[in-house]
Structure 1
Amino acid sequence: MPPAIVARTRGVIFDFYGTLVRMVAPLPPDHASVFERHGLGAQGARWGDQWSVGPADGEEHAAHSSSEQAYHAWELERLKARARGCGVPAEQLDGLAADLDAATKDMRLAVYEDVRSTLADLRRRGQTVALCSNWFWDLDGAVAAVGLTGLFDVVVTSAQAGARKPHPLIYRTVLKSCGLRAEEALFVGDAWGPDVEGPLAAGMRAAHLCRPDAAVDFGEAPPLRDGAARITSLPALTALL
């Protein structure tokens, strides 16, 4: 990675899942098991991928992000609409959606070993350190649960920003919150579209993190573009600062 990628940065913005944390056992309950508990095994067989029930990457939902209550109501309505399409009776929709929502968010997370030292080093160097994630409303709670409270100057979750990466709105939100111009920021993450292409389009530089023990298998990494670099661990960032 050429030193120029971070030579003029005043702030480093990190993705959360797959970049700083990974899922560990016990894993979230399978959605099929939630349907079974409600006596809806046949409908559960039509449900499909349980990780595709939330907003899609790049989706804008500002109208639903006015408050935590409004956003959570929208999350439940999405689940009920999909369950209704799978044949779930109307009288069971509310209870099923609440349990599916809880199951989706019942994740045990662990911090990668290189995270705390890297974040602390960046802060010692005077960098603004931010978090920008496609996540539920309470990203601060997830940060606290893994012991990273106090290591970020800014925390931005898509639920509150009103759009998911790689929508431009979430990048504008995090840059404004950091007090940074796009060219002063380096975005670091493991997902090519949300963490590399999106930030590049927003005028930032990007570091594509490809850990040997990646939390998500994205397949073969795409060829690098101008303004992007590829790293296999976080210490590579501070070594170039």
Structure 2
Amino acid sequence: MIRAVFFDAGNTLVRMNYAAIAVELAAHGVRATPDEVQRAEWRARVRLDDEVFAPASGAASTESGSSAGRYVRLILEALGVTDDAVAEAMAEWRHAYNAPAGLFTVADPSAEPALELARARGLTAGVISNSNGTIRATLRTLGLLPSLDFVLDSAEVGVEKPDPRIFRLALERARVAPREAVYVGDLYSVDVRGARAAGLDAVLLDPAGLWGARDCRSAPDVLAAVRLILRGPGDSETRSRRAHGPVAAPKRSLSETTAVARSSSAGSAGATDPRGEARELSRVA
């Protein structure tokens, strides 16, 4: 019986400010809509995992400058941008953009209903995030913190995913056994493998069916992931997806899918002033 569900933060409960990235790209002569940036990030996420985290077998940190720099490059490549000058300018902008919290300022539109559903079903809900000490404040600003029982920030606990110790800390906080908890995240090598190393099941977020056939359950967003967990491990839709390959998610406009962060006392919401958001791209998991 599942008694707890743990969530990643970046690209799971919280997404980056695609509008801010589009505005900065325009300043360097690159035309891209926020929706196009979002789709490019989805592709970059898979490549980052395959090219950086999978080969490293846990040795590469999601919090390192090199990982963040590679992430930026992959997003630009997915947009068709190969100009080194633009890549360098975007890397500098990313590094300086409202440090230390970065670009992750927008609540995923499925985050709040997912947390509400988990709590309504009596599940303990927690966050396990590779972060720099800012994720709790971000979740508070976005109004998600009250729906969580606890938050584990890697900078605070001294260990980061995929190290199984951070997952075991979550199990201790929730007072559940590994078989009674499921983890939801966006990176296979960091989230799925890390959770499994601690004995937990995991659901991989795959919003556009880009991960291909993986040996785990997958869902297009965090609300769908919670529903999948509540249905149990034998869900027929998931088995079909594994057998027949990725299925593209229906295209949704940014206005329909992006929930903008509530303003903090030091900044304003990204949809109206995307340059005013306060997060850093270095937090990728």
TM-score range, shorter chain: 0.5 to 0.7
Code of the residue aligned with 1:107 in structure 2: it is L
Q: Report the counterpart of residue 174 of structure 2 in structure 1.
A: 178
Q: Report the counterpart of residue 224 of structure 1 in structure 2.
A: 214
**1:56-67 alignment runs, 5 A limit:** 58=58
Code of the residue aligned with 2:177 in structure 1: it is R
Is 1:145 the counterpart of 2:152? The answer is: no
Cα deviation, residue 174, structure 1:
1.3
* Number of equivalent positions: 169
**1:40-189 alignment runs, 5 A limit:** 58=58, 103=99, 105-107=101-103, 109-189=105-185
SS of aligned partner of 1:103: coil
Question: In 2, Cα distance between the equivalents of 1:59 and 1:161?
Answer: 18
Code of the residue aligned with 1:205 in structure 2: it is D
Which of 4, 14, 37 is the aligned partner of 1:21?
14
Code of the residue aligned with 1:238 in structure 2: it is R
- Largest Rg, 1 or 2: 1
Provide closer, same or farther for how the CA distance between residues 239 and 111 of structure 1 changes in structure 2, counting only shifts above 3 A: same
Provide closer, same or farther for how the CA distance between residues 150 and 200 of structure 1 changes in structure 2, counting only shifts above 3 A: same
How far does the alpha carbon of each residue in 1:154-186 deviate from its partner, in whole angstroms, 9 at most, with x for none? Answer: 110111121110012211111111111111110
How far does the alpha carbon of each residue in 1:189-210 deviate from its partner, in whole angstroms, 9 at most, with x for none? Answer: 1111121111011100000111
Provide the alpha-carbon RMSD of the alignment.
3.3
Unaligned ranges ≥5, structure 1: 1-7, 31-50, 62-74, 76-98, 213-218
Is 1:234 the counterpart of 2:235? The answer is: no
How far does the alpha carbon of each residue in 1:37-58 deviate from its partner, in whole angstroms, 9 at most, with x for none? Answer: xxxxxxxxxxxxxx9xxxx994
Q: Which moved more, 1:118-127 or 1:107-116?
A: 107-116
Provide closer, same or farther for how the CA distance between residues 105 and 238 of structure 1 changes in structure 2, counting only shifts above 3 A: same
Q: TM-score, normalised by structure 2?
A: 0.52
Provide closer, same or farther for how the CA distance between residues 57 and 239 of structure 1 changes in structure 2, counting only shifts above 3 A: closer
Question: In 2, Cα distance between the equivalents of 1:181 and 1:202?
Answer: 10
SS of aligned partner of 1:126: coil
Question: In 2, Cα distance between the equivalents of 1:163 and 1:17?
Answer: 17
Cα deviation, residue 138, structure 1:
2.8
Contact preservation (8 Å) 1:14, 1:189: yes
User: Percent identity between the aligned chains?
Assistant: 30
Is 1:195 the counterpart of 2:191? The answer is: yes
